Amino acid sequence: MNARRWLRHPAAAGRAFSDTHRRTLRRLARRTVEFGIRPQLLRGRIKYVYGPRTIAYGDDELLVITVVRNGQLYVRSFLEHYRALGVAHCVFLDNGSTDGTVDALCSFPDTTVLQTDAPYGKFENTMKRYLAEQFSRGRWNLCADIDELFEHPFSDRLPLQQFLRYLNHRGFSTVVTQMLDMFSDVPLADVRSTPEERVWEKFTHYDVSAIDRPPYEWVDRPRDDIRMHWGGIRRRVFGTDNGLTKTALVLMNGKVKPFIEWHHALGGVTADVTCLLRHYPFGGAFVDKVRDAVLTSRYGATTTDEYVAYANALAANPKLTLMSTSARTFTGVEPLIDDHFLVVSDQYRRWADGYGSTRR
């Protein structure tokens, strides 16, 4: 409605103003709860369990933060991967595990374990933000779920420390990460997993045939190379529309605001390279996790609908498999760069090549 029509219809103008005002008030109320009230409530519900309470690490080192529940099957794979990658420390906030996750985490060095009984559906972002602000102020941190393994391009020849030095040298403070759902070649109901296994040895396949790639809106300046990934294997098999892009790696420099709309960040300078999160959701606990998510609605209304779709598909086809002619075997990051799944700038290539030449 334009200004002249508002003058002719003051009641309509009043309604339009009231609607806008109400939306603004709702946004402010949500922001007050998210950034003001919930952090105060959460602090009173955090319990220290194990490991150092303060972690000192350098500006070219990395801290990994994780909120976890019933992730025992992934603990060994997770910690072995990140230790081999070269991370300085891992901090876990357990949210009601009943499967031995806490004991497993406490059996490893270089870990800190906390617990909270706060409801995940309401406190998810607050929990992650608490870990980032409490343990990595002024430093880099990676927020990764217990079934996610991070990898930067050319990690086979460029150590993590050198990757972080590149980010610091270029003045970057946020890095976009793309999730790649990994699966095995057997039906989902037949998958068996044990805590001693390494997930990358069993779940070796991926499928990017059903991924949409619109522009990514959470970058600090418009750019055509970094894309938001939607869908993937879960869309093809279950019909769900999963977001696969996160700003998971951030520098907590006081300017970056992480965990906006769950997985994104504001106020950062976006790197000219994107990284990989190998995602292993289809382990032996997948069927049980689906059942628990549907019964408890732990992940909130929107994500619970996703788990309902999983449950319905499994009920309709007990021998459901994720394999198809479009599945590929994971052989490293470089094929994903060639397919433009990941972004690598010329400057970053030169940095990696330059490090390799100095090593020879």
The residue ranking higher by pLDDT, 12 or 308, is 308
**pLDDT tens, 158-176?**
999 999 999 999 999 999 9
Distance (Å, whole) CA 336 – CA 177 = 13
Distance (Å, whole) CA 254 – CA 267 = 9
The residue ranking higher by pLDDT, 328 or 221, is 328
Quick one: which of 171, 326, 339 has its CA closest to 236? 326
pLDDT reported for residue 189:
87
Question: Which DSSP category does 153 fall into?
Answer: T
Strands (E), 140-244: 140-143, 148-151, 174-181, 205-206, 211-212, 230-231
pLDDT reported for residue 307:
87
Q: 358 pLDDT band (50/70/90 cuts)?
A: low
Q: How many CA atoms lie within 13 Å of 194's alpha carbon, on the beta-carbon side?
A: 2
pLDDT reported for residue 286:
83
pTM, entire model: 0.87
Gyration radius (Cα) of the chain, Å: 22
Task: Report domain extents, the chain.
Answer: 9-43, 46-359
Strands (E), 109-256: 111-116, 140-143, 148-151, 174-181, 205-206, 211-212, 230-231, 245-251
pLDDT reported for residue 285:
72
- 37: tokens are 């009230």
- 56: tokens are 């000192």
Quick one: which of 90, 84, 96, 81 has its CA closest to 112? 90
Q: Has residue 247 got a pLDDT over 80?
A: yes
Residue 178 and residue 244 in contact, taking contact as beta carbons nearer than 8 Å: yes
**pLDDT tens, 256-286?**
999 999 899 999 999 999 999 999 999 877 8
Identity of residue 292: D
Residue 175 and residue 271 in contact, taking contact as beta carbons nearer than 8 Å: yes
- The DSSP H or E segment spanning 302 is helix 300-316
Please give the average per-residue pLDDT across 329-354, as a whole number: 97
Please give the average per-residue pLDDT across 244-254, as a whole number: 98
